[in-house]
Amino acid sequence: MSKKQKRATPRPAPTRRQLSKWERQAKIRRIVIIVSVVLIAALVTMVSVAIYGDRVAPWREVVVKVNDASIRMGQYVDMLEFQSYLMNDDDEIVYQIADGVLDSMINSELIRQKARELGIMATSQEIDEKIREYEMMIPRWPDEDDWPSPEVGRDMIRAEVLWEKLVDRFDAELPDMEQAHVQVMLVESEAVGEEVLSAIQAGGNFTILVDEYSYHPQIGGDLGWLPEELMPNPIIADAALNMTAGEVHGPIHDATAVKNLGYWLIEVTDIMDEEEVPQVNARAILLGSEAEAEQLRDELVVGNFTALAMEYSQHDSGRDGGELGWLEPGDMGSTAFDEVAFDLPTEVVSEPVRDEAVQTTGGYWIIDVIDRESERALEGEARETMASRELVDSFEEWREESTIDDRLDDEKQYWAIREVLRRR
């Protein structure tokens, strides 16, 4: 039997007051929703700005502008990390090289700009070849996959390749120059110089005499063909380019020349020989030649040791009147000194003690001009050196003419250093 259907009771129509109330409620809900959305959007924006300010903005900040190019903090941090790794794992090295790294990045950018201006490019293949060279030469050189930033690392190598190409460009433009083929030696005194000069004039072999008499730590023997600009010093240059081929000149005094030779005058004032290791209380004067040492020893017969040491000694102790204090064998780092000092009676000034373990200043040059030419092409190492020097001089001019805006203050640099250390 079917159920009876209930009759639907019609709802009364809302009154005007109810409609008005519902409209107010709906409006309030819409306002609440809008305000909530705005607040959420504002909060998201604030968080995003904070994150950008703390995490993103510093890395994109320009630390230096080089003409129209910008170097950003992220690049600087990556390069600082890369170069500090190559040099040392010690954290202190990061602080020590922070200024130098920025300066090298400025130079690299200037090199790129000048190379681009001259139409010089570095290919990816050339950069890869240079990287392989570094991998063979530098034990700590990391794989490219381990670089903090491959882009920054390759930019550094690119600058190296471009510099070499710039050297080649300057090499190709070098003119023929006046040159002299010279050989030189630095002797200890004028008397020795006269002795050597007489031996050469009598047919002595210059090379053999260099081995016996020359004591300059770097300069001596056959220097090859050189222009004035590459002569070791102005004294040699002036002499060599004013001499005729086959002429030997000297001795020429050079008060600033450094030589691996000196002469000691030693006086022992007290001895302790009862100890297991012998000790002497000594004072000494270091002089540049045997002749000078002999002359000063004569003066010490009536002169004051302290005053003469303060005036003439080339040893650091000269400022203290030559006083060395108590010494044990080996303290002076000189076998020649020890052999005399630990066998010397007290209150006796030694004969001049020849010592090739010390350096003194002052000497005399002997110069032999083998040949001269007014116009000659540079060759070998001299040509490479001259091209590099010309490029360095030009680079200094480019840098002076450039606009370099350094914005890396101490606070920003410290931030970069902390980021490098945090990565370790």
Assess whether 182 and 158 both reside in one domain.
Answer: no
- 155, part of any domain: yes
In a domain, 349, yes or no: yes
Judge if 307 and 233 occupy the same domain.
no
Task: Find the range with the poorest average confidence among 9-18, 133-142, 143-152.
Answer: 9-18
Query: In this structure, are 346 and 298 located in the same domain?
Result: yes
208 and 190 part of one domain: yes
Indicate whether 418 and 272 sit together in one domain. Answer: no
| Calpha distance 78→421 (Å, rounded) | 11
Are 229 and 368 contained in the same domain? yes
If asked whether residues 224 and 365 sit together in one domain, one would say yes
Same domain, 248 and 369: yes
> How many folded domains does the chain comprise?
3
**CB contact at 8 A, 383 and 310:** no
Name the residue type at position 210.
V
User: For a pLDDT cut of 70, what percent of the chain falls above it?
Assistant: 86
Sign of CA pseudo-dihedral 214, 219, 224, 226? negative
Same domain, 274 and 346: yes
For residue 26, being part of any structural domain is answered with no
Whole-number Å distance between alpha carbons of 141 and 113: 27
Same domain, 196 and 128: no
Pair (255, 313) in one structural domain: no
Clarify whether residues 128 and 248 are in a common domain. no
**pLDDT at 275 > cutoff 80:** no
CB-CB contact of 257 with 362 (8 Å): yes
Question: Does position 365 have pLDDT exceeding 80, yes or no?
Answer: yes
In a domain, 32, yes or no: no
Q: Which pLDDT band, with edges at 50, 70 and 90, does 34 fall under?
A: low
Residue-range definition of the domain harbouring residue 373 = 177-259+361-377
Domain annotation covers residue 385: no
**pLDDT in the model for residue 37:** 46
Coil, strand or helix at 162: helix
What local confidence, expressed as pLDDT, does residue 24 receive?
A: 61
- The pLDDT value recorded for residue 89 is 67
Show the tokens assigned to 189.
């005194």
Q: Are 258 and 369 in contact (CB under 8 A)?
A: no
Sheet holding 360-376, edge to edge: 221-227, 177-187, 360-376, 248-259
At 346, the pLDDT band (50, 70, 90 cuts) reads: very high
pLDDT score, position 15? 61
pTM, full prediction:
0.73
Q: How many C-alpha atoms does 263 have within 13 Å on its Cβ side?
A: 19
pLDDT at 38: 44
pLDDT over threshold 80, residue 411 = yes
Q: Quick: pLDDT tens for 64-107.
A: 999 999 999 999 999 999 888 887 767 899 999 999 999 999 99
Identify whether 271 is part of a domain: yes
Give pLDDT, residue 423: 82
pLDDT of residue 137: 87
